[in-house]
Structure 1
Amino acid sequence: MTTNTHHHATSEYAPEHAPRMQWTEHAPDVYKAMARLEAASRKGLDPVVAELVKIRSSQLNHCAFCLDMHTKDALAAGESIERIVQLSAWEESQHFYTPKEIAAIALAEAMTVLTDGFVPDEVYENAAKHFDDAELAHLIAAIITINSWNRFAVTTRMVPGHYTPGDHRS
């Protein structure tokens, strides 16, 4: 096991680990709009479900920055390491999650991987059985929002490992 004992400030990244750009500085109005969308999508949504879908979408999008952030946020909120680890294999590990959580995770996966086709009716209908209309609308918004955050982070190569829970919400 390797231990990283170096703590770098944002401007001190090694060249191979430097972000391509600090997009939030160059498009502050976009960042502020995203932050407002993030906050609005969380209203009325179970925070555990919100973190599970953020982590699962970020896994699918290979977004290391958002994985770092949301696994830390989930752990800080009391989520178990076991459930976070098993999330990448949720279909084989359904006994770790409630039926409502499984419905949300399945919807997040279907919405994130649109190259597999449209969101299947059975996935949507299962989510609709577990969430009332307002919750479902917020869940859809939360999934869309994390996919947007993932795309900003992956495209600009935001560097994971420096986030502390409570720094900011995204």
Structure 2
Amino acid sequence: MLTQLVALSPGDGRLAGLVRRVCAQTLSLPPLPSAVEVSGPESEAEAVVAEFAEQFSVDVSAITGEQRKRLWKQLGDSTFSVVTQIYIADFVPRVRAGLEALGFGSEHLGWVNGPVAWDHGTEPSDLVFNDFLPAVARMRALDPVTAELVRLRGAAQHNCRLCKSLREATALDAGGSESLYGDIERYEDSTQLTRRAKAALRYADGLIWTPAHLVADVAAEVRSGFSEAEAVELTFDVMRNASNKVAVSLGADAPRVEEGTERYLLDAEGQTVFS
């Protein structure tokens, strides 16, 4: 599925090439391949997209209302599609960095050294939200409490108001609690969180904030404390959770409840089911 995401090149491929270059430079990571090599913006619209993509990668919560307004003005109905392309350009390189640090890259990154069969027809948001994210959500190697801890950490780091208001039912039934989740903010000092949970949170922080400089000791902790299937799922979970950056960037992350939290179930099909 990563290969399918990498192969997306809608329209003439310029915007895809542009955001892939911008995000990679911002992250100091190898860029995703592009059907069209773009050295930089060549129009006002491309300059607006490049500025938005850079801030999306640096800290999505700091995107301003003015930046959103300019993006909508330049892109109109294609805004959501382009922001989804920015999400791909921003996070697939992080996944590559994580899997390579864990020593699992060759098994999951076939597009790195192989040719890419470019897909000019598939809508990026359709592939991401209807296929990729549910496929990751269907993975079940990682225990639900660890998965929820990592999800909530990502929610806080990206300041997604909706994600912070949600609680996954399977994790709650498996021992998750507000007391435990309250320790996520300062997890290093927690007496409730296990060494395994802290290792997962350190790894998630690394992918979110310093993907080009993942600490060897953190990767070693994950390799020693998790099976390969769990570690791979953990990596993909961080990317799945980071899809909240699309909503946050567009100011569409309002919670469904006015106060407190809302319980939901991530079902066997990888779909979110609210109570």
Return the TM-score normalized by structure 1: 0.71
Deviations 1:17-63 (A, max 9, x none): xxx99x69x944432024323324x3211111100000011111111
2:130 counterpart of 1:35 = no
2:232 counterpart of 1:134 = no
* Bigger radius of gyration among the two: 2
Aligned to 1:107: 203
2:269 counterpart of 1:166 = no
Alignment check: 8 A CA contact 2:162 2:253 kept: yes
1:134 deviates by: 1.4
2:159 counterpart of 1:56 = no
1:138 deviates by: 0.9
Identity, % of aligned pairs? Answer: 23
Q: From the two aligned structures, give the one with the greater helix fraction.
A: 1
Counterpart of 2:272, as a letter, is R
Measure the CA separation in 2 of the matches of 1:161 and 1:85. Answer: 21
Measure the CA separation in 1 of the matches of 2:172 and 2:227. Answer: 27
Deviations 1:69-126 (A, max 9, x none): 2x35444654121111111111122x111111111111111111137x5211111111
Cα distance 1:68–1:77, how it changes in 2: closer, same or farther (>3 A)?
A: farther
Measure the CA separation in 1 of the matches of 2:173 and 2:253. Answer: 22
Aligned to 2:27: none
Counterpart of 1:145, as a letter, is R
User: How do 1:1-170 and structure 2 match up within 5 A?
Assistant: 27-40=125-138, 42-69=139-166, 71=167, 73=169, 74-75=171-172, 78-93=175-190, 95-114=191-210, 117-147=212-242, 149-156=243-250, 157-162=252-257, 163-166=262-265, 168-169=271-272
Measure the CA separation in 2 of the matches of 1:29 and 1:129. Answer: 33
Count of residues in Structure 1 that have an aligned counterpart in Structure 2:
144
Measure the CA separation in 2 of the matches of 1:160 and 1:67. Answer: 8
Counterpart of 1:39, as a letter, is A
Cα distance 1:98–1:38, how it changes in 2: closer, same or farther (>3 A)?
A: same
Counterpart of 1:54, as a letter, is R
Alignment check: 8 A CA contact 1:76 1:165 kept: no
Gaps of 5+ in 1: 1-19
Return the TM-score normalized by structure 2: 0.46
Measure the CA separation in 1 of the matches of 2:227 and 2:174. Answer: 24
